[in-house]
């Protein structure tokens, strides 16, 4: 969390920090950058506005920290098989776009470029996630689990796109367990890619 130096006195309450970060993600997800204000976040978190300014110098730094700590990260995993790695990757995508910060995840992908300080942070996160996903597929090709000519980009576009669409369009009451749906998606995709 990017905060100013701690002042002497009572130690900060980590539960308050979590409530503020959660409120920041909720407000951004619902109202976007145009409606994102320190006062609105403070009210949603049930804290005074001064509590926010003691922790963050600007609404940009508050949002940047909330996104960094509150969004599910897509990371490189190595289960030993391409199938296992892709199931984990699809599960991460499903969790990101159907979890509690799903609206903020969608908003930041649309609005980050226009928010100073957030744009750079989001771009770094996005690049790291893309590298991680590409590493998973490249390992699978290197191990012979996929044909050598497999398009890494098309495979990931299909996997990530399928997971995102499912997460965003399936009503919660009908949504399958994320890991189960991820496995079904990967099974389908692997059959399509490996069947001659």
Domains and CATH numbers, the chain: 14-69 (1.10.10.60), 72-194 (1.10.357.10)
> What DSSP string describes the chain?
---PPPPSSSPP-HHHHHHHHHHHHHHHHHHTGGG--HHHHHHHHTS-HHHHHHH-SSHHHHHHHHHHHHSPPP-----SSHHHHHHHHHHHHHHHHHSTTHHHHHHHHHHGGGSTTHHHHHHHHHHHHHHHHHHHHHHHHHTTSS-TT--HHHHHHHHHHHHHHHHHHS-TTTPPPHHHHHHHHHHHHHHHHH--
Give the per-residue pLDDT at 174.
64
Give the per-residue pLDDT at 175.
62
Q: Per-block average pLDDT, block size 10, for the chain (196 residues)?
A: 49 81 96 96 94 91 91 88 95 88 91 89 89 94 93 95 88 73 94 86
Give the per-residue pLDDT at 5.
46
């Amino acid at each position: 969390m990017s905060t100013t130096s701690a002042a002497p006195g009572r130690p900060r309450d980590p539960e308050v920090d979590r409530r503020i970060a959660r409120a920041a993600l909720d407000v951004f997800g619902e109202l976007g950058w145009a409606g994102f204000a320190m006062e609105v976040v403070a009210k949603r978190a049930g804290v005074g506005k001064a509590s926010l300014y003691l922790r963050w110098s600007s609404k940009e730094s508050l949002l940047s920290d909330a996104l960094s700590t509150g969004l599910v990260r897509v990371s490189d995993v190595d289960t030993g098989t391409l199938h296992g790695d892709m199931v984990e990757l699809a599960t991460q995508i499903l969790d990101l776009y159907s979890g509690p910060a799903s609206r903020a995840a969608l908003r930041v992908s649309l609005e980050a470029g226009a928010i100073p300080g957030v744009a750079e942070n989001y771009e770094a996160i996005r690049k790291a996630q893309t590298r991680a996903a590409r590493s998973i597929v490249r390992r699978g090709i290197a191990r012979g689990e996929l044909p050598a000519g497999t398009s890494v980009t098309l495979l990931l576009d299909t996997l990530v796109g399928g997971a995102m669409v499912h997460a965003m369009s399936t009503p919660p009451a009908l949504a399958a367990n994320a890991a189960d749906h991820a496995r079904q998606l990967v099974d389908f995709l692997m059959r399509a890619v490996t069947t001659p």
